[in-house]
Each structure stands twice: as structure tokens, then as C-alpha cells.
Amino acid sequence: EVQLLESGGGLVQPGGSLRLSCAASGFSFSSYAMTWVRQAPGKGLEWVSLIRGSTDRTDYADSVKGRFTISRDNSKNTVYLQMNSLRVEDTAIYFCAKTYSSGWYYFDSWGQGTLVTVSS
């Protein structure tokens, strides 16, 4: 059974930094791209970033490009999201998800999310 467990969320001031982690189990982690999707309070889903399994090639939404960095450690079955220069509008639940390659990617298993609050 696929399990994804996010951690690292919390309250941070504008301009601050936070690193999210997502520990994966139940599948061959290094074989799959992993992604982060966020959801602001009461709002819809917004894709944030993706990292491929073998090449470490990454993609970012324009809203976070240059501020967020996605990475992975295949020896620890963990994907990370380093978030710098945080803004109030980055406040959201951050979900990590396992992907499946079809066209580009869809997201076939999701973690429960971790809440990031950016506020002074």
C-alpha cells in the first residue's frame, strides 16, 4: 500500500523559510516522479512543483519559481520542498503526491498534507 507522510509545516513570518518533507513507502520510490500540490484555505488545488525519479529534472509553477526548490533522496524514500522568501499568499495545505506518467503526469496517490501559514 502506498503511503505518503508530509511533515515540516508550521507558522513562519513573511520572508522566512521552511522545508517540507514527504516520506514515501509501499512502492519503488526511485522509479516515480513526485510532486507537490497546494490548497489555500477554502480554495482549489494548485500544482507547485515536480521532480522526476531518475534524472532529478524539475518543474515549477511560475508563482514559486526562484523561491522554492524541490529535491529528493532516493536512499531515504523522501522528497523535499525548500521554501524561501515566503509570502502571505503561500499559506496553504501542501500535499505531496506520487505521479504516473501519461502525457505529462497525473497524481495517483496523495498524502494527507501539511499546513503552512505565512503571517506576521
Contacts with other proteins, residue ranges (CB under 8 A): 37, 44-47, 50, 59, 61-62, 95, 100, 102-113
The amino acid present at 21, given as its one-letter code, is S
Three-state secondary structure call for residue 2: coil
Q: How far is the CB of 16 from other proteins (least distance, A)?
A: 25
Q: Which is nearer to other proteins, 18 or 64 (CB)?
A: 64
Neighbouring residues of 104: CB distance < 8 A, sequence distance ≥ 6: none
CA distance 1 to 96: 16
C-alpha cell at 96: 505531496
Minimum CB distance to other proteins smaller for 19 or for 65: 65
Give whichever of 29 and 107 is closer to other proteins, judged by the CB atom.
Answer: 107
Residue 75 or 104 with smaller CB distance to other proteins: 104
CB of 75 to other proteins, least distance (A): 26
Q: Strand, helix or coil at 67?
A: coil
Cα-based angle 92, 12, 47 (whole degrees, multiple of 5): 25
| In the complex, minimum distance from the CB of residue 65 to other proteins, in angstroms, rounded to a whole number | 10
Least CB distance to other proteins at residue 103 (A): 4
